[in-house]
Amino acid sequence: APELFNNQAATQKVDIFATGITFYRLLAHIYPMDYQNFHDYQMAYQDTPPYMKPTEIKDPILWDLLSKMLEFDPIKRITASEALEHEYFTGPEAIDDISPEQRQLAEQAQARQQDINEDIREYEINPQSIVPESVIKKFLIGYIQHKPSKQSFEERDKEQKYNDSFKDILHQEEQEKQNEPYIN
């Protein structure tokens, strides 16, 4: 977060900024700023340029939330509770996205709370906070099917070492050519 480059105290607003960076990366497949060293980041954050909306983000409501999370000034940056109350999470489109399974699970939790006075937390009765088991299973199956095997990581490492060695040889040959006397 920008305030960390200015030796300001780290607050929960740092986490909001970090979450904004993560969302940006997930949605746009790039970082909003990508520098190679601490000094470059520090200089960029001092200039406080506004982030450009990436073409991958089409929803203006999502961009509004994201830009508030990525606000350079921690005083102006959205809080966690404000973010959760943002239209992106509470607006009509978000309500329409609640599945029947989410509604059913929330209703079951409310019934348990009323019938047997079970200790139910607020997020268990809020259908927007519920991720059904079927969604988790679908995600895990997709992840497992597309997850690179350990062998492919090892093969990639081996190939990278080979490429690095080849580059070293080419570089060495180039150096030797430069050191050879010129013969006409």
Residue 184: the pLDDT is 46
Does residue 140 lie in a domain region? no
61 has pLDDT over 90: yes
Confidence tier at 163 by pLDDT (50, 70, 90): low
- Residue-number span of the structural domain to which 129 is assigned: 98-133
Does residue 125 lie in a domain region? yes
> What proportion of the chain, given as a percentage, has pLDDT over 90?
10
Residue 11's domain is classified under what CATH number? 1.10.510.10
Shared-domain flag, residues 85 and 121: no
Q: Chain centroid to CA 150: how far?
A: 24
Q: What confidence tens digit (pLDDT) does each residue in 63-89 have?
A: 999 999 988 888 899 999 999 889 998
Shared-domain flag, residues 81 and 117: no
pTM: 0.58
How many structural domains is the chain composed of?
Answer: 3
Shared-domain flag, residues 119 and 176: no
Shared-domain flag, residues 9 and 89: yes
Shared-domain flag, residues 6 and 84: yes
SS3 string, 109-162, reads: HHHHHHHCCCCCCHHHHCHHHCCCHHHHHHHHHHHHHHCCCHHHHHHHHHHHHH
Residue predicted with more confidence, 83 or 14: 83
pLDDT averaged over the chain? 77
Does residue 6 lie in a domain region? yes
Does residue 169 lie in a domain region? yes
Shared-domain flag, residues 129 and 44: no
Confidence tier at 107 by pLDDT (50, 70, 90): confident
